[in-house]
């Protein structure tokens, strides 16, 4: 009998406290290299933007780089890069993050920069119009003028979900972006960019006492504003299959993606984890179930993938979310046949289960990826910030690899049994022949 793989927990130290203004802070000291990662995560994402303002969460992320209370436009860029650091920000379904990696001697510089824009970005008509144009160009490059643009993260949610927060286009329509006003931006900042709605994390070469004093000095006087009430985005599961298609004029070949609702990743983490593992059992590597069957044996698809969450972030998403499978087909490929074959493999897995050796191989690969993602100080800072923001458990960073290793073959089998055609939403890409 094959022994179940044992994956040890990591031991990153985690310190956490809350400032009087409500800002939550997480520190993860590691003196092994003179580098720090700094992240600020705000509890606002695509699902938070109001109707008529699609794409606003992403637009506002851009505005946060256009100068702040005491800094002119582009000053943030100049001060980080001048210290030898790098920086960026990104918008997700349930949060927006801003982050830097710098030499540890520049930690205070990063803290000043983040605190200054937490007090207030420069929300001017010029900055707004400029960044609307930048976001529109991103949409052109990444969606409108790219084969399979928005597939499936933008095209599948409207098939699966009915409510605006879950189903709308998170990149935004040009009409909504162009109609945004400075007053809209100011209201969005006032509501969502409050201290009480944010988490600051620092990982790497830091002294906890010194870092704490710096944080209090720079963030302690940011005006206190409480977090807004978080809406309930839940909606009923599907009771019958949904399937739609669209023609992509730039796509050379057909493609299809399917999704199924999964347990609440925050409130039912134990029930959720087997689906994270199942996605890898099905699609990770040449020995995985669907690659072996569809790519190597039947040759009905040229590539495939499986993951949790429409943006592929299994540990950084709230409910409702989904398990996704996506397939790219060869010329003349039969989408119906691909979906039927995937159903057959899911049913076979649900009926016959999998061996401990097969599961152990997948768990070892998953644990390796998790450890690699948090080996760099910035990856660690981002992970603990989101874990604090969504769960109040930044120390879970140490247990994730071990918890993946504790998922059983029976739990994976039971998860596979729930992925039935009756609960499936699918979106098919019909190639447009470049017309």
2 occurs within a structural domain? no
The count of other CB atoms within 10 Å of the CB of residue 292 is: 14
Q: Supply angle C-alpha 283, 323, 273, rounded to 5.
A: 90
Residues 184 and 330 reside in one and the same domain: no
Structural domain includes residue 20: yes
Question: Predicted confidence band at 3 (pLDDT cuts at 50, 70, 90)?
Answer: low
* Domain containing residue 46: CATH number: 3.30.830.10
Q: How confident is the model at residue 1 (pLDDT cuts 50, 70, 90)?
A: very low
pLDDT tens track for 173-232: 999 999 999 999 999 999 999 999 999 999 999 999 999 999 999 999 999 999 999 988
State the Cα–Cα distance between residues 28 and 190, nearest whole angstrom.
Answer: 29
pLDDT recorded at residue 4? 61
Q: Report residue 252: phi and psi, to 5°.
A: -80, -20
Cα separations in angstroms, 89 against 23, 57, 267, 365? 19, 12, 27, 28
Instruction: Say yes or no to pLDDT of 143 above 90.
Output: yes
Q: In the prediction, which pLDDT does 8 show?
A: 77
Say what percent of the chain tops pLDDT 90: 95
Both 259 and 381 in one domain: the answer is: yes
Tell me: pLDDT of 257 over 50: yes
For residues 368 and 257, membership in a common domain is answered with yes
Give the pLDDT band (50/70/90) at residue 6: confident
pLDDT for the residue 69: 83
What is the number of domains present in the chain? 2
Q: How far apart are CA 94 and CA 110, in angstroms?
A: 24
What digits encode the pLDDT tens for the residues 334-377? 999 999 999 999 999 999 999 999 999 999 999 999 999 999 99
Average pLDDT of the residues of the chain: 96
The answer to whether residue 280 sits within a structural domain is yes
Please check whether residues 319 and 422 belong to one and the same domain.
Answer: yes
Domain holding 353, by residue range, is 242-431
> Last residue of a domain, which of 219, 253, 269?
219
In a domain, 132, yes or no: yes
Same domain, 295 and 211: no
Confidence label for 26 from pLDDT (cuts 50, 70 and 90): very high
């Amino acid at each position: 009998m094959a022994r179940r793989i044992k994956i040890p927990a990591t031991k990153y130290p985690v310190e956490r406290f809350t400032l009087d203004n409500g800002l939550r802070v997480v520190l993860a000291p590691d003196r092994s290299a003179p580098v720090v990662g700094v992240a600020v995560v705000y509890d606002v994402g695509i699902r938070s933007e109001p109707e008529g303002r699609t794409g606003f969460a992403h637009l506002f992320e851009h505005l946060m780089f256009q100068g702040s209370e005491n800094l002119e436009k582009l000053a943030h860029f100049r001060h980080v890069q001048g210290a030898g650091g790098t920086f960026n920000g990104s918008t997700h379904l349930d949060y927006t993050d801003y982050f830097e990696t710098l030499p540890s001697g520049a930690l205070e510089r990063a803290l000043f920069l983040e605190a200054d824009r937490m007090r207030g970005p420069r929300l001017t008509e010029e900055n707004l119009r400029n960044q609307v144009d930048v976001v529109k160009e991103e949409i052109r490059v990444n969606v409108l003028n790219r084969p399979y643009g928005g597939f499936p993260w933008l095209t599948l949610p409207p098939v699966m979900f009915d409510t605006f927060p879950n189903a709308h286009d998170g990149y935004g329509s040009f009409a909504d972006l162009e109609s945004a006003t400075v007053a809209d931006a100011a209201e969005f900042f006032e509501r969502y960019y409050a201290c009480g709605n944010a988490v600051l994390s620092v990982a790497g070469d830091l002294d906890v006492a010194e870092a704490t004093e710096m944080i209090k000095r720079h963030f302690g006087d940011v005006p206190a504003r409480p977090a807004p009430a978080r809406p309930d985005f839940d909606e009923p599961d599907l009771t019958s299959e949904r399937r739609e298609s669209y023609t992509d004029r730039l796509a050379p070949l057909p493609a299809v993606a399917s999704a199924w609702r999964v347990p609440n990743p925050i409130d039912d983490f134990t029930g959720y984890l087997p689906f994270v593992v199942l996605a890898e059992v099905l699609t990770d590597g040449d020995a995985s179930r669907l690659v072996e069957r569809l790519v190597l044996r039947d040759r009905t698809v040229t590539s495939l993938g499986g993951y949790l969450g429409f943006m592929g972030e299994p540990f950084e998403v709230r409910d409702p979310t989904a398990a996704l499978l996506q397939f790219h087909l060869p010329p003349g490929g039969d989408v119906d046949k691909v979906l039927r074959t995937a159903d057959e493999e899911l049913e076979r897995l649900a009926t016959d289960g999998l061996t401990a050796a097969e599961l152990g191989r997948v768990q070892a690969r998953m644990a390796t990826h998790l450890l690699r993602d948090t080996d760099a100080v910035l990856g660690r800072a981002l992970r603990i910030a989101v874990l604090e923001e969504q769960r109040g458990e930044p120390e879970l960073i140490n247990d994730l690899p071990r918890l993946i290793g504790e998922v059983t073959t029976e739990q994976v089998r039971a998860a596979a049994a729930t992925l039935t055609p009756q609960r499936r939403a699918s979106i098919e890409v019909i190639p447009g022949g470049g017309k």
